[in-house]
Amino acid sequence: MPNPTLPRERTAYSAIVDRPPLKLPGGARLVFWTIVNLEVWDIGKPMARQVLPAPTGQPMLPDVPNWSWHEYGMRVGVWRFFDLFRRLSIRPTLSINARVCEDYVRVAQEAKDAGWEFMGHSYEQGPIHKEADQAAMIARAMGILEKFTGKRPVGWLGPGLTETYETPELLAAAGVKYIGDWVYDDEPTTIETANGPLVTLPYSVELNDIPMMIVQHHESDYLSKRAIDQFDRLYAEGAQRAKILALAIHPYISGQPHRIKYLEQIYDYVAGHDGVLHWNGEQILDWYLAQTNTAIRAE
Amino acid sequence: MNDAAKRPAVGMLPTERIDYSPIAGRKVPKLPGGGRMLVWCIVNVEEWDILSPMPRTVLTPPAGGAPSPDIPNWAWHEYGNRVGFWRMLKVFDEFKVPVTLAINGSAIAAYPQIVQAANERNWEFIGHGFTQRNMQKVEDERADIRRTREVITRVSGKPPRGWLGPGLTETWETPDLLAEEGYDYVCDWVLDDQPVWLKTRTRPILNIPYTQECNDVAMMLIQHHTAAEYFERARDQFEQIYQDAADGARVMALVQHPYIVGAPHRLKYLRQAIATMAARKDVLFWTGAQIVDWFMQE
C-alpha cells in the first residue's frame, strides 16, 4: 500500500509522567472497565482459536471440537456472565460480532435488555486484513448493531484487535468515536485520522482470557491472581492520577465452570475498595472528552 | 573428517574464542569494601518497527497468520515505553540501582525522555543493535555496530563500552567487529557466573554474565510463568550464587523489559527481587562498566 499512515504519524510518543493527571469524579481512583466479547465462528472456515489442536497438526474442516468449544460459550457460559453482572449491577461493554444479532438473537437480546453497551467488533470473527472490502464490512457491522439496539455504537474493537493502516480512517468515517485496539497506555489518548480524531481507550491484552488461558496456558486461578495484582498496582497509582483497568473476557473461556469462580473473586475483591467506578466505554469516552475539552462528539 | 566444509568463511568458532574452564579453582579479584557478589540490572529498551514483523507477540491473530500492521502487539510493546518504564524507574530510584541500559540505536531518537531519565541517573548505555533485529539479518554488521556507537556517544557523552546483541544474536565475527569498533565487553555468551575473555582476531574482549534464566522474556513470554516467578526465581538464583561466592566473587544479572515486568500486575515482583538482594550489605549493585574495570585490574 503506498504511503500508509503509520501509528507514529497519528500520535507522538508521550511519557505518562509528562502528562497532567486526569481526575475522576468524587475523588475516585480507578475506573474498572469490563468488556465481554461475543463472536460467531463460521463452521466453514478455520476456527479463530483452538483449545484442542488437531491430532495431525493440520486443522481439518469442519473443526467440530473447537467449534463446539466456542458454541458452549453461547449455549451455557454467557448465562453465567449475565447472572454475575446482574447480581453486581454492572453493565459491561459488549464487544459483539454483528452476526451474533442474526445467529444468536436470544443472547444479543438479553444483553440489550440488561443495558450493556454494544461496541462494534466486525461482522464475524477473523482478521480484518482478510476483508475484501473493509469499508463495507464496517458499515454492515455498525448498521446491524444500530438497527438492533436503536443506537449507533460509539466504540469499536478490531477482531483480535487487528487493523490495517487505513482502519482508523474507515472507522472515523463510519462514526466511531473510540477504539480499543491500541493497548499502549493506562489512559485514553487521541489519535489523528484523515476523517477526524479518534480516541483510544486502554483495553487490555494482559488482563484478557485469550492470551492468558489459550496462548499462555495459565491455570484457571491465575485469572484472579493476575487481575488482583493489576488492580492493586493501579489502585495505588490512582491516588496520584486516574487509572483505568480493563478486563476482557470470553464466555467460552471465563464462563467455563472451572473458571467462573475466579472471575467472581475479582469483583468481590474490588468491591472491598472505595473509589472504584464500574464504567463502560462510552462513559469513559465522555469523561475523557470533558477532561480534555475535545469537541469530537457532535451532539 | 573434513572440517573445512563446516568452517564459517569469516570469524571464528566459539571453541576457538574460549577454552573450556571449570569455575572451581579460578582466581578472581576481590571486591572492594568486603563485597561478596555483584548484581547488575539490565533494562532493555527497544523500538519495534511497525513495518516489520513484531519480534514477539502476546495475542496471535484469530485463525493465525502474520498481519501487517500488527497493531495489538505493537501497542503492547509501546506500553512499556509510555508507561511501564516509568514505574520501574521508581523501583530503581528507591534502591539506588545504577542500571545498565541496553537500548536500540533507533530507540534513542524515538524515546528522548527515556534517554534523559537515564542520563540524569548516570546509567550506563550499552549497544543493543541499531534496530531490534537478528544480527544475522543485518546487511552491514560493522556499520550497525559503528552507528550505534556514534549515537550513544552523542546522547550520553561517552562511547558505549558494552554490547548486547538483539535477542543475544551474533554472527561468526561479531566479537571481532566489536573489538575493532572499540567495545570492551559483550554479553551474548551466557555461559558462566564470572567474566571470561574471548579471543578475537585483534585484541581479546571480555564477556560478562548476562542471563537467560532471570529474564522476563524467557520466563513470561516463552515459558508463560506467572508474574510471581520473576521474584521466586531471582530469589532462588541469588541465594545460590551468594553461597557459591564464598569461593570467589560471582556476578548475577537480572533483566527487565518495560513492556513485560513494567506491566501493573508484575511490577511488585521486580521490587521484591531487588529488595531481597539489596537487603544484604555485601552485595554490590554495579553497572557492566564497573564490573569490567574491577575484573581487569590485576
pLDDT at residue A299, as a whole number? 41
Residues of A in contact with B65 (CB under 8 A): 127, 129-130
Cβ neighbours, 10 Å, residue B127: 29
Any CB–CB contact under 8 A between B263 and chain A? yes
Q: How much is the ipTM here?
A: 0.85
What is residue B4's predicted lDDT score, i.e. its pLDDT?
54
Q: Identify the pLDDT of residue A1.
A: 55
By the CB < 8 Å criterion, does B79 face chain A?
yes
Of B61, B68, B268, the CB nearest to A160: B61
C-alpha B108/C-alpha B220 separation (Å) is 26
The DSSP call for residue A40 is: -
- Which residues of chain A have a CB within 8 Å of the CB of B69? 4, 7, 163-165
pLDDT at A148: 98
The three cell numbers locating residue A204 = 487490555
Q: Which residues of B touch A129 (CB under 8 A)?
A: 61, 65, 67-68
Closest alpha carbon to A143 in A108, A112, A101: A101
The sign of the dihedral angle between the CA atoms of A17, A20, A25, A31 is: negative
| Whole-number Å distance between alpha carbons of A128 and A298 | 28
Show the 3-state SS of chain B: CCCHHHCCCCCCCHHHHCCCCCCCCCCCCCCHHHCCEEEEEEEEECCCCCCCCCCCCCCCCCCCCCCCCCHHHHHHHHHHHHHHHHHHHHHHHHCCCCCEEEECHHHHHHCHHHHHHHHHCCCEEEECCCCCCCHHHCCCHHHHHHHHHHHHHHHHCCCCCEECCHHHCCCCCHHHHHHHCCCCEECCCCCCCCCEEECCCCCCEEECCCCCCCEHHHHHHHCCCCCHHHHHHHHHHHHHHHHHHHHCCEEEEEEECCCCCCCCCCHHHHHHHHHHHHCCCCEEECCHHHHHHHHHCC
Q: Which of B216, B193, B174, B185 is nearest to B56 (CA)?
A: B216
For residues A103 and A3, what is the distance between their CA atoms, to the nearest angstrom? 39
User: With an 8 Å Cβ cutoff, are B58 and A207 in contact?
Assistant: no
Distance of alpha carbon B72 from alpha carbon A184, whole angstroms: 8
A211 three-class SS: helix
Nearest by Cα to A50 from A71, A65, A72: A65
| B111–chain A nearest CA distance, Å | 7
Query: Tens of pLDDT along B114-146?
Result: 999 999 999 999 999 998 888 888 999 999 999
CB atoms within 10 A of CB A132: 6
- Could you please report the per-residue DSSP string of A156-168? E--GGG---TTHH
Amino acid (1-letter code) at residue B278: A
Over the stretch A222-278, which tens digit does the pLDDT of each residue have? Answer: 999 999 999 999 999 999 999 999 999 999 999 999 999 999 999 999 999 999 999
pLDDT beyond 80 at A284: yes
Nearest residue to B217 (alpha-carbon basis) of B44, B27, B29: B44
B82, B260, B266: which to substitute to probe chain A, counting the most A Cβ within 10 Å?
B82
Q: Do A183 and B224 count as a contact with CB atoms less than 8 A apart?
A: no
Q: Are B270 and B261 in contact (CB under 8 A)?
A: yes
Q: Domains plus CATH for chain B?
A: 32-49+65-296 (3.20.20.370)
CB B83 within 8 A of CB B262: yes
Cβ neighbours of A6 in B, within 8 Å: 50-51
Task: State whether residue B110 sits within 8 Å of chain A by CB.
Answer: yes
Q: How many CA atoms lie within 13 A of A267 on its CB side?
A: 17
This prediction's pTM: 0.90
Nearest residue in B to A50, CA atom: B63
Compute the nearest-CA separation of A150 from chain B (Å): 29
Return the C-alpha cell found at A130. 482478510
pLDDT tens for each residue of A44-61: 889 999 998 887 777 788
- Domain parsing of chain A, residue ranges: 21-44+59-292
Mutate which of A41, A184, A209 to test chain B, going by most B C-beta atoms within 10 A?
A184
β A155-156/A178-179 pair status: parallel
Facing B82 at nearest CB: one of A14, A159, A234: A14
Mean pLDDT of A130-149: 97
Contact at 8 Å (CB) between B257 and B44? Answer: yes
* Residue A206 contacts B where some CB pair is shorter than 8 Å: yes
Candidates B63, B76, B114; nearest CB to A127:
B63
What CATH class has A21-44+59-292?
alpha beta
Element (H, E) at A37: strand A30-38
Report the chain B residue with the minimal C-alpha distance to residue A219: B226
Question: Which residues does chain B have with pLDDT short of 50?
Answer: 1
